[in-house]
Amino acid sequence: MQSNLAQGRPAPRVVIAGASGDAGKTTVALGLAMGLRRRGRRVQVFKKGPDFIDPAWLSLASGSVARNLDVRLCGEEAVRQVFSEHAPADGISIIEGNRGLFDGGDAKGTHSTASLARLLSAPVLLVLNATKVTRTLAAVVLGCRELERGTLLAGVVLNRVAGERHERVAREAIEGETGIRVVGVLGKAAGELIPNRHLGLLTPQEHRAAQGALEAVESVVSGGMDLDAVEAVAEGASLWRGEGGGKTGGGARRA
């Protein structure tokens, strides 16, 4: 008989990635953490890389201590161990990426968000900045789906959408051309709810109304996201076995 470790255990999880930096990953991750908590779900948050500002906000939003996952500094075994120790079987793990989905330390995307998603066998929600673009977004999604096909692209979130027509055309193009569902649409204001500076977001300690800012983020994200669909994506992740995992290097492709 196989051991429980070999059989795996539930670990609902989802990676929040962007097609670029400043796409709105943190806004989406924060809003989802708060929205899912309000639904009574236990939420554990993780942040790719050595970042300290985003984890401070993620910790506040989730009510849990955010954990960093940094393969470059710590190695794959340590990252899998951290995830194994803290990813709940009875909740949802939200893993926020950094930069663009395939951006890493070199042209092959070494240590990218996509490689982390493959290491954790986690589905990805791709956040797109939709400013002044519609059908071209479908080409971006197609490229992200095909570049490293071992990466499971499970849904799209449109950010900075100008209005109903903008949403309709972009949604129809993406879903019609790629078959990947748009699970969230956020308006232009969603990208400005927490101030930025040269290091990234203002820290919660420096924000005069951090809790109020988070509540505003939750209102926008919960109002624009299909939380049922997000839960389904997370719960559809494969059982977590705590060792092994997918190929993580740049250029990984599904056979």
pLDDT digits (tens, 9 = 90+) for 126-164: 999 999 999 999 999 999 999 998 999 999 999 999 999
C-alpha 29/C-alpha 46 separation (Å) is 10
For residue 253, the model assigns a pLDDT of 38
Which CATH superfamily includes the segment(s) 8-235? Answer: P-loop containing nucleotide triphosphate hydrolases (3.40.50.300)
C-alpha 193/C-alpha 215 separation (Å) is 10
30 and 61 in contact (C-beta within 8 Å)? yes
pLDDT in tens, 163-185: 999 999 999 999 999 999 999 99
For residue 222, the model assigns a pLDDT of 93
**One-letter identity of residue 84:** S
pLDDT in tens, 83-123: 999 999 999 999 999 999 999 999 999 999 999 999 999 99
For residue 2, the model assigns a pLDDT of 42
Both ends of the chain: CA-CA distance in Å?
Answer: 29
For residue 211, the model assigns a pLDDT of 76
For residue 196, the model assigns a pLDDT of 62
Q: Alpha-carbon dihedral of residues 123, 110, 59, 200, nearest 10 degrees?
A: -120
